[in-house]
Structure 1
Amino acid sequence: MARRIAPIAATFAATAALLITACGGGDDSSSPDDIKGADTGSKSPSASASASTPSEAKRPEITLPSTFQLTFEDWTSSEPVEQAILNDAKEEVRAGYAAIIANEPDGGDALAFYDTENGLAQSTKWIKSYTDKNVTVIGELPAFDPKVSMADSGKAASLSYCTDESKAFTKNRKTGKEVGNPAGTDPEVAYTATLVKSAQGVWQNDSVTAQRGGCSQ
């Protein structure tokens, strides 16, 4: 279920479908700005993350079925810029799971809207780790404890948050078999995302890394 587990935990097990992930961070190039708490393993932002004056962008509508309850606990901030980051990051996560459920290995238009070129390449690897094995996602997945750190430039940010996979499962589209994390697996996953502001004012995901069990550290 975890989106992009760090390489140390990236096991591709057909029977442990919740651990089917794309490779995490670890790219050699630097992150877009000097951000407190940002993962330094991300690629440079793509050209879509321009610093020009933003215009109001029409955000796509994303829907998830009742069989998968993706919730965001306390994703609010009194700071307007931080709230904008939280809002766009939340929709990017929803777009990724919507693509898995819709069996769209390329991620679909909504994910392309919320990802930079680099971010979309990473996201589609993660999505294909599900679609290539003909599985979808079901159950409940809360995302909680979000923390935003801004770059001095105001054009990039780091977002950390956690998810709890205790009640989340994969389901084989053909057989209907449901699979959860193996016994003894820590259900909580800590994420760090790097976001950059596009020319249209959208906070786009440029990279995500994850660490299973990192929420308790």
Structure 2
Amino acid sequence: MNRSRALPAAVVSLTAATALLLTGCGGGGDDKDSGKDKIAGADEGGKKSSSPSAKKSEEPAIDRPDMKLPSDVDVVFEKTSLPDADQAAAAKDAENFVTAIRHGIVKQDPEDAAYKFYSEYQGPAFKYAKDLIKKNVDAGYTVTGEQKFSGTKVDVVKDKKSAVVSFCSDATKFFSKEVKTEKVHRTQPSVKDFASWEILMTASDSNKGLWRAKQAQVRDGAEECRS
């Protein structure tokens, strides 16, 4: 079985090019955003918000879903320092969205609550996550090993309601595993193991401090992500 198709780093073909994540996607923060608002000015991101620490202290605790992974699955995100509280929150929940997909696969549940919590309901990212989990379940595959993510960058647009989070992934030590036999399908490391990610995140109006994935662009074979 082709590992790039079995693993969560598969390419998702959206109706728009990656550039649309910055210029033409819906930017509302509602949990069921209609997608009609346009994101513009992503190059204006990175501005510091006033008193980010005070802002964080005012926000109520978010009741997040449990995403405990089995001992043989490790999703590692390189630590990064971001100057803005909104950037940090968007990046963290983009990471949570990625982890949620793996959680759905190991749980063998296309209706897993985790990815639904971290994506806009029935949006492109929601459907991408569900489809990827379902394909693995239908094929009888789960995952095992370690996948690393690095080079996180965040562009927050001027309305502070949308952000594009990008990073690279390394799946050279991440493999598909047959659920019934537990046979691991190991492959030799190659450029196909590296992927470039861009996730459009939107801030939730009803759950302050929470960001959800609206769209996801994942490109396998990303030479620039190969160290």
What TM-score does the superposition give when structure 1 sets the normalisation length? 0.78
C-alpha distance in structure 1 between counterparts of 2:134 and 2:24, whole Å: 22
Matched, 1:214 2:206: no
Matched, 1:94 2:99: yes
Higher helix share: 2
CA contact (8 A) 1:155 1:197 kept: yes
C-alpha distance in structure 1 between counterparts of 2:158 and 2:25, whole Å: 18
Q: Deviations over 1:38-94 (max 9, x none)?
A: 3668677685156xxx96332222211110111011243232111111221111111
Deviation at 1:213? 2.8
Which runs of 5 or more structure 1 residues have no equivalent in the other structure?
A: 1-14
Q: What is the identity, as a one-letter code, of the residue corresponding to 1:150?
A: V
- RMSD of aligned residue pairs (Cα, Å): 2.9
Matched, 1:27 2:19: no
Q: Larger Rg: 1 or 2?
A: 2
Distance 1:132 1:40, change over 3 A: farther
CA contact (8 A) 1:25 1:207 kept: no
Matched, 1:160 2:166: yes
Tell me how many residue pairs correspond in the alignment. 194
Matched, 1:203 2:211: yes
Matched, 1:17 2:3: yes
SS of equivalent residue, structure 2 residue 175:
strand
Matched, 1:38 2:26: no
What residue is the counterpart of 1:111 in the other structure?
Answer: 115
What residue is the counterpart of 1:130 in the other structure?
Answer: 136
Q: What is the identity, as a one-letter code, of the residue corresponding to 2:214?
A: D
Identity of aligned residues (%): 22
SS of equivalent residue, structure 1 residue 132:
helix
Q: What is the identity, as a one-letter code, of the residue corresponding to 2:2?
A: A
CA contact (8 A) 1:158 1:195 kept: yes
Which of 145, 150, 153 matches 1:144? Answer: 150
Which runs of 5 or more structure 2 residues have no equivalent in the other structure?
A: 34-57
Matched, 1:72 2:77: yes
C-alpha distance in structure 1 between counterparts of 2:24 and 2:97, whole Å: 20
What TM-score does the superposition give when structure 2 sets the normalisation length? 0.74
CA contact (8 A) 2:198 2:217 kept: yes
C-alpha distance in structure 2 between counterparts of 1:171 and 1:157, whole Å: 34
C-alpha distance in structure 2 between counterparts of 1:18 and 1:93, whole Å: 16
